[in-house]
Structures are given as structure tokens and as C-alpha cells.
Amino acid sequence: MFWKFSFLCALLVAVFLAYWIRFSSKVNFVVQLPEFEATGFAYYHEETREKISKVYLSLPYVQPPVGDLKLEHPRPLTEDPNRKLQSFSMPRGCHQQEDMSQYNLTTSEDCLYLNILVPIQDSEDPSGYPVLVWIHGGGFVYGLNEFYGWKQLAKHFNPRNVIVVTIQYRVAFWGFFSLGDDQNAGNLGFWDQTAALAFINKRIHLFGGNPNRVTVWGNSAGSASSHSLTISPHSNKYFHQVIQSSGSFYNLWTHTHKTYDMSKEIAEKLGCQHKDSKNIKECLKKVPVEKIWAVTKPYGLMRNSINPICQREGLIVALMGENPVTSVFAYHHGVRTQDQHLYTKANLTNYLKTITTAEDVAGDKADQLLNISESYYYRDEYLAEQDPKFWYKRFVELASDETFFGGILVEIAEKLELGWPQYMYFMDYIHVDHRDLVGIPTYTPHAYEYQYLMDCIPYFPVDKSSFSSEELELTEQLVSSFAQFVKTGNPTTQKQKWNEIKNAEEIEYLHKILKTAVKYSAIGGIGGSSLYFFYKNNYSLENIGLIRFGRAGFTASSVIIDYKWSLFGLSTDNDTYQTKLKACHSRSAQKLLDLARNNGGVFIKIGQHVAALQYLLPDEYTSTLSVLHSRAPESDLEEIKMVCKNSLHKELDEVFTDFNPKPCGAASLAQVHEARLKKTGEKVAVKIQHPKVKARSVVDIATMEFFLRIASAVFPDFRLDWLLEEAKTNLPRELDFLNEAKNADTVRKMFSHLKFLRVPKIHHEYSTDLVLTMEFCEGGQINDIEYFEKHKLNKHEICRKIGRIYSEMIFKKGFIHCDPHPGNVLVKRNEETGEEEIILLDHGLYQNLEETTRVNYSHLWLAILKHISHLPRQTYKQHIPKTWKVWQRWLLPEDKVADICKDEIARICGEMGIGEYFGLFACIVASRSWESINKGITKVAIKEEERKEIQHYASTLVPQILKVLDLMPRQMLLILKTNDLLRSITYRLGTQNRPDSFIEMTRFCVRSVYQHSIKKSHHWMGQMRLYLRMYLVLFQIYAFEHYLMFREYFVKTPSLL
């Protein structure tokens, strides 16, 4: 009996220990930094009890600003690896404008800390997780992290594979006191933010973060801070994207010269009336905090408080060229509900005169601005008789425009000129219990949505557990969009499309984050925006969309007329017809080449893609346009020098020697020069962006969008909206050379096992978003037949290797180089090993394939290649006798195999959303006829007759092809582009009909399919069975490969032709 009792006790202890281990939130995670050792703990989702985060709270990023360091610039931490830090609570906030203990919030001068929330699983991306940095608001005089909490942020973003960092900075007197001289220059709060970003940039990799994928996110004053950080060269090098929630540094409340007078007045009230500014600072360092609170509290908020300044150590404008998200919300100005109907025209007029057009705001333009404002805000005033809240609503509109939207609009307009992609959402939802409290149900208070995103206390009492399904959906979509933006630079998700802003006077923004897009006329942005549009347009004539697309329209018209006139009345089987048709092809191709060269940018990109369609288009087009792969128009040397100077902040000859003024290659977005680094003498290739390409691309895409909308209305069967959306998404990536540098580093590390692949080393010290300095690699273009013959390169081996690289990218790694045109792929013979070597250039455009897309694409290719060995029995049981065993599928006749594969293609295309067009999609993917796919593309060589057949059907099935391209997953577009470019290389080298040309692809497809199944299997026996099947299939492929090698060596039949 005793042993039973002992066993029961032991069992209970074991269960208790297991429970404690599973659910304890004190599981430690240790990260060693040079400055200290940080110990974090695990955070479990309250509802699912799933472990989702590693939490590190209260980590210092600079020395405490106390004692002698009070009112001084932040100082870096000293290195002390033996210092051990662990905290389970948020840090105390920085001292505010008043004592916050009455609100149960503790503050301190020692407050410069950050918190790091990390996904529980290590990142599969060797670069690490993207990072989202939160900067709190509070009008620069209030705000602390404790108010916002950390649990909701962890719950929202860590499961979406995003690291979140929340930072604190000095505010009020401690953060923005300034006398406008060197001793008290001000903006210490901004310097704190910059120091935090520098620390994150330097150390976040130790927590699994990617320092090259940092997004800054701020609300209100934090949003204005985010804007200021983007335009300061001290800070904008530490991050790449920004989410601004209701605030711009162009809003008048964010900075004022009154700061000098108020600072001087405060110093005098605190008894520091010295003439020397240094002595004033030393005096202020000794004043007790309680005395400071007593003096500063009456100053209030906004323009009546100590704010940032724009002089001395303020903001020096520098262009970053990244992906901001600008957001604006309705602003509730605090008039009591019961008094809103008492607000009159006289109240509004008084506000306009004393606030909006005050002398310190408008200067000598006060009268002019008052007239403009009155004419706008007094519009339709006759309606006041029917609406008792009419004048209050106009007041809220004015206050919103003046306080937020006016400055935001100016910021948007300036960024549009610089080519910065921008998106906006408009929050006008309010909880049902709060609508009566606001008085106007559609007027949402400032920053209202943060009660849905964070742990912060809402404006009005609300039970967060009672949120409606609509509110939960709102939260889900907002968080998903933010996370998607952090990862990709575009907030569009599968559920919600965001339209990029194209016109600052007519902004298309996301409304409520709930499925509806709304047009908003920005004329209401009085107070900062109305005068802005009188400023002259900077674009040169070449940048005006009307002229550039007028040129395109003329070219298109002349091509159409040429074909119609030259071929009029001729029969298609007439020899004269064929002769004249070829002549038309040549003339039209030359016109398109001239158009691409004259317009540049996007047009050259299109021309390069057309040149790759050698299997589809006439030779006159592909051969004529192929020069765009490396001989695109060149920028003037003086323009190139100016780009370098503005981007590197140094003259060209300060960085490089032996800079060849003649580019060794010119492409659509940039050109490459040979040079040597002045510091080391190393030979480098310097890739420099064409100076006007960003401005032109924005104009081209905007104009293209206009014409596409007209074309879609006139020809509803010819919709190309998807193509435009891809251009919008991908161009910004290609225009960011820092993104290209990051991709190059990733690929070099990812494919280090392929000794024949070379990716040029990046010199990050001399690289920016506009200039990329890399190792100089010599070689010939992969389609240069003369180079192959001169250097005796084996073209079959080269094609095998390039197939290995891209098969592994697509089917195994899911990280695919999407611009492999011949100018970006060089070949050479390695002098040491004697082997053929492939050099991969231009890493600006990569695609991270979703696992579903990657696996479906693998299944599709196996079906096209007539591989059924990986299929489960139920897939093909209807095609075989019931008595057959699994291994007997090898005995199936070819027509049965074709039926099985047809069913499999239809099934996969159904999952991809393509449905009834599965046959056409398979033909597009394989670039073969359906007859050849049925027979087996590894058994039937493609001949000239089939090429002509494909061209014929392509011309007659344009609406269906466009429909397929519109239905397919967006990631497939870049995969198909990559397929086209690779296929053009094999056609050029004449290796497309080798029976072993699909061996590498098949091998990786099999691995992809089986490994996906193994991952889904939860039982070790099932996993072992799948492993055995996979290795059996791989062995069969291996045997077939060696059979082909044997046949080629002894029988000499390397081709199907």
C-alpha cells in the first residue's frame, strides 16, 4: 500500500513540476552585451498559455542623466560585461511637467531605458527579425512607457515575427530647455532618441534582430519625433521606415521660438539669473525637482510649453528616401458635450484671430491667411440654422487641420517630390459607449486607437474584454498591416489593400481599417498647407508625366499605324506579307528602344523584360531590345558626382581614386563605374543611381495608373491593375541600395556552400541608399557566345549551375533573385580551380516566398514533369486496378500518367485560385504547348513549329492570359519573370533541349514537397516513412542523371533534337 501512495505522490510532484515548467513566466533568457548581461523572461499568452515572447525590461542605453550629466547630451554606456541586469517591471518614466505620483506613475531623472520584446523562436532568416521601435507621445512635456505597457505589443507583434523595442526620452524642462546658445542648445529629448536608435543599431543583432530592417513608430509627439528623426542626418542612418500616427514636425505646436523666452523665464524663477549660460546650466543642475515642477506646471501644453527648436543643434534637412507611413485622425478639442451647441461663429472667429493667424504664427501674412481661413471655414454657414452644433463641428475641423493635418499634408507633398512611398489611414471609429460622451459620434479623439493596440488607459472607461467583433477585426487588420509594413515596406495584406498616396491634394486613404477606401480633398489643410502649393514645381521638363507619356503615346500610335498601313490587304501566307512583317518588327523594335532610352527608368525595365521573352516574341524585338540589359542611357559625370557628394557627404575624389568616368555598365536605375578605394587601394565597382530616377518613376507610375484606369474602363477584359501594383511594391525596393546591400550579404551567406557562385562583397562604409560600393568582379555576360568560345567555357555546365542556384532559391530557400537578366549574371573560369564560376550581380529585388506558394509551385512542376512518385495513393487510385500495390504505379501507361498529372495540375491551380485556367497557367509556367506537357516536356524537344504555335495562341488568348495573371498569387509574378529571364538564357546558349536540363529542379521540388509533409507530420514513424520515400525518389533521380551522363559520354546524344 505504501508503494502505491509513494508512486501517487511522485506522480503528483512530476505533474506539478511539468505544469510549473510549462506555465512559469520566469524562464530566463540571457544575452551578453559588452555593456552588461541582460536576463529576460518568457511571456505566455493569457488565453492560450502559449509561450510567445522573450521579454527584456528596463535596459539602459546610455549613462543616467543625473548629477553632472543632467541637462547634458546623452553619454554612451561604459563596457562592463560583469554587470548583470534583470527586471520584471517597466522602468520609471522621465520627469514630466508636473508630479505624476497623483496618477500612480513614478518618474525619475534616471529614466533613459528601453524594453525589448523578442519572438520566442529564433528567426529562420540569418539576418534576424525586423525591428519596430515605439516612441511615445505626450506633447514633449508628458509621456512614459509605463502608461502604454508591453503585453499587448508582445501579443500583437511577436507572433508575427517582429521584435518590438520601446524607448524613453527626456521631456519637458529636462528634455527641451534651451537658451539658443552652445551651452544650452536644447533638443536633448531628440538626442536621447538618437542615442537609443544608435544603441539598437549596434546591439539588436544580439537579441536576434536585423539592424538593417528597423522601423520607427510614434504617436502624436512621438510621431513628430519620428518625422524629425527622418530628416536629421544624425539619426536617419539608424532606421529605414517610419510609421507616423497623427503628428508631423511641420505641425506648429511641435516647435516654437517661445522656447527661448520660456526657458529664460523659468531659469529666472528658479533663481538662476546668471549672465553666463554655462553658469545658468550649473545652477539648474542643483535645483530640486519639486521646485522645478512648481514653476513649470502652469505653462501648460502645446505652444505654451517648452518645445523642440529648429536652430543650433536642431534639425538639418537630409533626404533619406525610404518608406514612411503617414497617418491622421480626427481631433476632439475638449469642449463639453452639453456646451457644443453653444459654440458660435464669434467663438470660431476669435480662435482664428488669436490662435490660427496669430502674429507669431503667420507674421505679415496674418490678414491674408485670415481671409483664406474665413472663406473656407464659414462656407455653407446657412446650415447653422438647422444644425445647432454647426460651428462646433467647424471648430473641430479647423483645430484638426491646424493641429495635425496641415503640417502632415506639407510633409506628404514634400515626400512625394522625393519619391517616398506613403500610405495613410483615417480613424473615425469610436466605441459605442463613448459616442454620447464625445457628442459627435463620428469625431474620434486624438490617438484613440491606441486603446486597441496597447495596454494604455483609454480616454473613457471601457471593458476591453467587451470589444465587439468589429473592434477585434479593426485591431487585427491594423496590427497585421503594421507588421506587414515593418517586414516589406508595404502595409497591404491579404485581407486589406492600402493604396499608395500619389497626390497630396487628393489623398486616397484607408478608412476605419475596415475594407473601405475613401477619397479626401485636402483643401481643408489650412494653417500650413494652403500656401504650400503656391510654391513652384521643381521638376524639370523631362520629369513631367504628360510629356513622357505623350512620347509613349506617340510611339504606340506610330507602331500601330505602321503595322496597319504596311500589311493592309496582304494575305498572311503571302511571302511579301512575311517580308514586310519582319520589316515592321524591326522598325517597331527600334522605336520602342528609342522610347525606353529617352524616358529611361520604368520604360527600360519594361524593355529588359520584353528582351527576355525570346521564346515568345519575334527575334527583331528581343535582339534589338537586348542592349538595354547593359547599355542603357548614361548619366552625365557631373550629375554622378553630385549624387555621390549628397549621398556620401564627401567629394568623389575624397573616397575613390582612378575613378573611370566611363561607366562599365548602365542599366535602368543606375550605372556602374570602375574605381579604387582611396583608403585601401582595392579595386571596386561603384553603382550610382541615376539622379532623377526616383522622381521620374513616381511620375511614370502615377501617370501609368491614370491611363490604366481609362484602359480598364474602355477594355474591361484587358485589366493590368495587378502589374501596376507590383511596380509600386517593387520599385522602391530596387531604388534602395541599402536594401540591395542587405540582400547581397544574405545571399552570400545563404549560398556559401556553392563554391562556384560568387556574390561581390559590399563595402558598407561607402554605401548608401543611392551609392553602392562593392568588390569588382570581371567576367562575361552569360549570354555572350563569343566570350564562351574565347575562354572555352562549357555552356551546358554553366546552365546546370545556374539552374542549381535558382532551383535552390525557389524551391528550398524561398528567397529568390528576381532580376537575373544577362547583364546581372556573369561567367568566368576560376584561375585557381579551373572550374566555371557564376557571378551574381544586382540584388535589389528579392522575393521571400510564402511556404504555401513555394510548395504549391513545387507540386506544379513535378506534375508538369510527369513525376507521380511523391503522390499519395488516393491521388491516383482511380487510374489503377484495386489489386495493384503502390510500387506498381511505375507500370502505368503514359496516358494514365498524363491523366493523373492533369488532375494534379488542376488541383494545385485550384488551391492557387486559378481554377478553370489551370491548363493555360501550366503552359505559361513551362512555356510549352499543352500537347507537349501531356506528352512530357523532358521527352519532347521544343522546335520552331511549337514556338510559332505558342506565339500564335499567346496573341489570341490575351484576355485569358491577363485573367490568369490577375488571379494567380502575387508572388508568382516575380517567379514567372525569373523563369522568363532564365529561359531566355538557355535559348541563347542553345541548351533548352537537353534531357538533363530539369534534373536539378526536380531534385529540389521533391525535397520541398517531402520536407513540407514531414514538417506537418506529428508522429516519428510517419516522418521516418516520408524520409525513406524521399530518399528513394532522390536515388531514382540520381540514377537517371547518371544514366544520361553515361549515354552522353558513350552514345553522344546530349540533345533531344
Catalytic residue numbers read 819
CA distances (Å), origin 499, targets 137, 325, 517, 709? 27, 11, 8, 14
How many Å apart are CA 511 and CA 498, to the nearest integer? 10
Contacts 24+ apart (CB under 8 A), 465-474: 468/432, 470/429, 470/514, 471/429, 471/431, 473/514, 474/429, 474/449, 474/512, 474/513, 474/514
How many Å apart are CA 466 and CA 799, to the nearest integer? 61
Cβ(78)–Cβ(53) under 8 Å?
no
CA distances (Å), origin 993, targets 134, 338, 890, 894? 56, 82, 25, 21
Q: Side-chain half-sphere of 498: how many Cα atoms within 13 Å?
A: 26
Give how far the C-alpha of residue 644 lies from the chain's centroid of Cα atoms, to the nearest Å.
25
The secondary structure of 673-695 as a DSSP string is EEEEETTT--EEEEEEE-TTHHH
Question: What residues contact 155, with CB distance under 8 A and at least 6 apart?
Answer: 45, 52, 53
How many Å apart are CA 730 and CA 723, to the nearest integer? 11
How many Å apart are CA 172 and CA 193, to the nearest integer? 14
How many Å apart are CA 607 and CA 823, to the nearest integer? 13
Angle at 1009 between CA 1008 and CA 1013, to 5 degrees: 115
Tally Cβ neighbours within 10 Å of residue 661.
9
Nearest Cα to Cα of residue 308 among 227, 375, 365, 363: 227
How many Å apart are CA 85 and CA 82, to the nearest integer? 10
In terms of Cβ atoms closer than 10 Å to its own Cβ (0-12, 13-18, 19+), residue 448 is buried
Nearest Cα to Cα of residue 95 among 135, 54, 140: 140
Cβ(942)–Cβ(992) under 8 Å?
yes
CA distances (Å), origin 293, targets 97, 173, 270? 6, 9, 10
How many Å apart are CA 412 and CA 502, to the nearest integer? 10
How many Å apart are CA 97 and CA 178, to the nearest integer? 15
Nearest Cα to Cα of residue 405 among 555, 264, 532, 289: 532
DSSP annotation of 356? I
Nearest Cα to Cα of residue 144 among 58, 259, 39, 40: 58
Q: State the cell numbers at 73.
A: 547630451
Question: What residues contact 1033, with CB distance under 8 A and at least 6 apart?
Answer: 867, 869, 870, 1006, 1010
How many Å apart are CA 786 and CA 792, to the nearest integer? 10
Tell me if residue 1020 falls in helix, strand or coil: helix
Q: State the cell numbers at 524.
A: 481643408
327 - beta bridge partners?
245
Cβ(555)–Cβ(598) under 8 Å?
no
Q: State the cell numbers at 757.
A: 557562385
Nearest Cα to Cα of residue 563 among 577, 553, 551: 577
Asked whether the CA dihedral 983, 987, 993, 995 is positive or negative, the reply is: negative
Name the amino acid, one letter, at 707. Answer: F
